Amino acid sequence: MSAEFDFSQWPPALSKTQLDALTLYSTTYALSHGLLYLPLIKPQPPIPSAAIHAPLSLFPSPFPRKLFDLARRIQRTYDTLYARIAMDEDFLDEIMGAETGVGKVDDFIGQLWKGWKQLRDDGLVQPLQLGLFRSDYLLHAPPNESISLKQVEFNTISVSFGALSQRTAELHRYLLNSTQYYNASSSLKADNFPPNETIAGLAGGLAAGHRAYNVEGARILFVVQHDERNVFDQRWLEYELLEKHTIRVIRQTFEELAHSAIVDPKTSVLHVKCSTDLHPSGLIEISTVYYRSGYMPNEYPTTSHYTTRFLLERSRAIKCPSIALQLAGGKKIQEVLTQPGILERFLSDEKKYGKDIFQEHKISELRASFMGMWGLDTGNDLLNPDTEAIKSGKEGYGVLKARELASSLVLKPQREGGGNNVYKEDIPAFLDSLPPKERQAWIAMELIVPPEGAGNYLVRAGSTGSESQNALKTEVVSELGIFGWALFGGSGTAVEEKEAGWLIRTKGKDSNEGGVATGFSVLDSVLLVD
């Protein structure tokens, strides 16, 4: 990035009158264009009668053009990498399994793996798998070093906010067109607002799975959370599927599917029971199971929930994701990929994959996006667990290194959704409380150092009208996510994949966590800078 751009001068100065006008334009645009959440009410009424605008930023956030282009370019390599990991059963068994891997010490991962292992032993009938992915990045700008792109994590299940991120990018473009942002900055011009067509991109991936199933009249099943507030992000995909692909969607929770899902014992076809008032036969055939839930242990409070997940996995419907692909998204996999030779195993094995499109420079680009990582269970040989230290309760190399470098680290478990990590000064006490046998479920990762001084105006809907009009100026950190999808499996190793748009989530700098749904971040968009 050119040295001319100064993050500490962002956002540009506004008068109170200008700030109030932008806030009004933003919130009314959001309410008018489906940039919405359901209000914080439990239980949610069966038929919603109110909505609030999603948390958002007033300005787009600056992001170096060359690093934005890099993130988009390497997404296709990441899509193929994780598809191949999901097809490598031996690798997943070793790293994530309940016999030798993370599943030994993490009950949630262990339950999923055991169910998947039994289904494999019985014989899975659908070889195709579908993934909707999101690779998340932060800008890394330590003192006296060039700014670079570093990966936070790679998500393989329930990647969210694609639709609302497109709407946020459209919001910021509307503010530019309608107000020119009051000429507050020369960087705020149309060429620096990249297009974002995430709705079409993600729906295109779901449509590819549906077409591969190839049964007329079948529908896509969205497996959703009870009391879900982020329904509009999902509904925009549903509308796109219907309007552009003539594909219908049915929405069910795990609790509902426990009573409505049926797998034909002869054909393995998945049907969902419904009223004959809604469908003549009372049965809807499912082409693709798309999970917008099922990624956290609290979503499986009873054995019935696991039974339902395994029932769906047993069927002929294409899963998005399969259990294998969900396991591939584990933080332990992310850490193992940093070890020597692992990327080459999946991206350079011509004997297994044929003459590959992934030349060495593409592997180098992926490796350059990694931060330093290691497992808490590791000895000096990072490929092998320090089992003697674990058995004796002594601290192995992984824990000792985490203690020594705690101020510059984050510890991550095998969890999605935000709010699960342990940061910096909290690490020593956490390590004191962590039973030795549970270390295998955690990784240590060097903290990314974002640019200093960047700010923005954050707007969250409050419980009263006046609160919803307040824009809070604060120093922020912005996280870029790049979406992609992959359809793979079948009779070989071929992967059909595409990059599918992007998002920016922005949070106050003092917040360690970053989820929008968990209340830490707001939706934002990209302003390209050189």
Among the candidates 416, 446, 476, a domain finishes at: 446
Give per-residue pLDDT as tens, 380-406. Answer: 444 455 555 545 556 778 899 999 999
In a domain, 336, yes or no: yes
- Stated as kind and residue range, the H or E segment containing 502 is strand 495-508
Q: Exactly one of 416, 489, 497, 499 is catalytic; name it.
A: 416
Both 268 and 336 in a single domain?
A: yes
Q: Residue 442: give the domain boundaries.
A: 372-446
Is 134 an active-site residue?
yes
Q: Is the pLDDT of residue 377 over 90?
A: no
DSSP letter assigned to residue 144: T
Q: How far is the C-alpha of 232 from the C-alpha of 241, rounded, in Å?
A: 14
| 335 found inside a domain | yes
Domain of residue 384, CATH code: 3.30.1490.50
The crossing angle, in degrees rounded to 10, of helices 107-122 and 89-96 is: 150
Residue 483 CA to residue 502 CA, distance in Å, equals 6
Q: Which residues are annotated as a binding site for ATP?
A: 153, 331, 412-421, 423, 445-448, 479, 507, 513
Q: Is the pLDDT of residue 104 over 70?
A: yes
Low-confidence winner among 72-76, 344-348, 510-514 (lowest mean pLDDT) = 510-514
Q: Which of 446, 477, 508 is the last residue of a domain?
A: 446
Mean pLDDT within 266-281 = 93
- For residues 34 and 238, the answer to whether their CB atoms sit within 8 Å is no
**Vertex 329: Cα angle to 323 and 332 (nearest 5):** 115
Instruction: Note if 473 is an active site residue.
Output: no
Task: Give 384-390 contacts, CB < 8 A, sequence gap 24+.
Answer: 385/440, 389/436, 390/436, 390/437, 390/439, 390/440
What mean pLDDT do residues 14-32 have? 96
Q: Find the catalytic residue in 76, 117, 316, 331.
A: 331
Question: What pLDDT was estimated at residue 490?
Answer: 81
Domain shared by 389 and 520, yes or no = no
Q: Quick one: pLDDT at residue 203? A: 98
Q: Band the pLDDT of 3: cuts 50, 70, 90.
A: low
Confidence band for 408, pLDDT divided at 50, 70 and 90: very high
Dihedral pair phi/psi, residue 506, rounded to 5°? -125, 135
Question: How far apart, in Å, do the first and last CA atoms of the chain sit?
Answer: 5
The whole-angstrom separation of Cα 410 and Cα 448 is 9
Q: Are residues 384 and 432 in the same domain?
A: yes
Residues 504 and 377 in one domain: no
Nearest partner of 471 among 463, 460, 481, 462, judged by Cα: 460
Comparison of pLDDT for 268 and 384, the residue scoring more: 268
Q: Please compute the mean of the pLDDT values over residues 22-45 and round it to a whole number.
A: 94
In the predicted model, what is the mean pLDDT of the chain? Answer: 91
Adjacent-strand bridge partners of 524: 504
Residues flagged as binding site for Mg(2+): 153, 155, 416
pLDDT surpassing 70 at residue 142? yes
Residue 208 lies in a domain: yes
Q: Give the count of alpha carbons within 13 A of 223, CB side only.
A: 28
Residue type, 402: A
- Beta strands (DSSP E) in 121-235 are 129-140, 148-155, 219-223
Is the domain of 70 the same as that of 26? yes
Does 331 qualify as catalytic in the annotation? yes
230 occurs within a structural domain: yes
Domain assignment present for residue 322? The answer is: yes
Annotated binding-site ranges = 134, 153, 155, 157-160, 228-230, 234, 292-295, 331, 412-421, 423, 445-448, 479, 505, 507, 513, 516-517
Residue closest to 468 by CA, chosen among 482, 478, 476, 458: 458
Domain count, the chain: 2
Output the CA angle 48-223-122, nearest 5 degrees: 165
Q: What is the pLDDT of residues 172-202, one digit of tens each?
A: 999 999 999 999 999 999 999 999 999 999 9
Same-domain status, 294 and 352: yes
**Encoded amino acid at 55, one letter:** P
**Is position 42 annotated as part of the catalytic site?**
no
Q: What share of the chain is helix, strand, coil (3-state, %, to 5)?
A: 40, 20, 35
pLDDT grade, residue 420 (50/70/90)?
confident
Q: Is the Cβ–Cβ distance between 188 and 176 less than 8 Å?
A: yes
Q: Clarify whether residues 457 and 442 are in a common domain.
A: no
Q: Does one domain contain both 226 and 297?
A: yes
99 and 238 fall within a common domain: yes
Q: Verify whether residue 416 is a known catalytic residue.
A: yes
- Strand, helix or coil for residue 257: helix
Q: How far is CA 277 from CA 219, 242, 283, 340, in A?
A: 17, 21, 11, 59
Domain identity same for 235 and 308: yes
For residue 153, indicate whether it is catalytic: yes
CB 147 within 8 A of CB 141: yes
| Active-site choice (135, 148, 160, 187) | 160
Report H helices in 437-525.
Answer: 465-468
In a domain, 1, yes or no: no
Residue set of the binding site for substrate: 134, 157-160, 228-230, 234, 292-295, 505, 516-517
Higher pLDDT, 447 or 419: 447
Among this protein's residues, is 332 annotated catalytic?
no
- Residue 2 domain flag: no
Boundary of a domain, candidates 388, 415, 446 = 446
Query: Is 291 part of any domain?
Result: yes
Q: Which of the residues 76, 134, 219, 362 is marked catalytic?
A: 134
For residues 437 and 521, state if they share a domain: no
Residue 149 shares a structural domain with residue 216:
yes
